[in-house]
Amino acid sequence: MIEPKLRPIGVIASDLKSLAEAPRQGAEGAPDAWLEIDPSFAEALLGIAVGDELLVITWFHRADRSVLRTHPRSDPRNPLTGVFATRSPDRPNPLGLHAVTVRAIEGHRLRVGPLEAIDGTPVVDIKPVLR
């Protein structure tokens, strides 16, 4: 079996510099941000256009991978729930899934939004939304 080790394909450049500033979901007021794709993967962007809807997969590098249950939205009034039934970043494989629209393209940099992931978050995949 191929070793399931991710290679970051790029990184997020965002005005969100800390988790405390970041909204819980993109649709909750997140800003636009840049996906700075590594030049070695730039040719994999061919065909992406301004206005496209994409799914960006990130690696929440600050996550706690030992968490299996959580109170959704960190609100103790919400019942304890398995992380696979939530979007908590704390989970065994802390993959973030972000639905964004492409605002601009500059070479191997994509301006996308809304995106709640913080500055410096590794990007591991980009996929088109299926219709």
Q: How many angstroms separate the CA atoms of 120 and 76, rounded?
A: 29
4 is an interface residue for its own copies by CB under 8 A: yes
Report how many residues bind its own copies under the rule CB under 8 A.
50
50 is an interface residue for its own copies by CB under 8 A: no
105 is an interface residue for its own copies by CB under 8 A: no
Question: Which residues are paired to 81 by β-bridges?
Answer: 70
Contact 99, 59 (CB under 8 A): no
Q: How many angstroms separate the CA atoms of 87 and 19, rounded?
A: 15
Per-residue x/- track, 59-98, its own copies (CB under 8 A): x-xxx-x--xx---------xxxxxxxxx---xxxxx-x-
Q: Which residues bind its own copies (CB under 8 A)?
A: 1-9, 25, 41, 43-48, 52, 54-55, 57, 59, 61-63, 65, 68-69, 79-87, 91-95, 97, 122, 124-128, 130
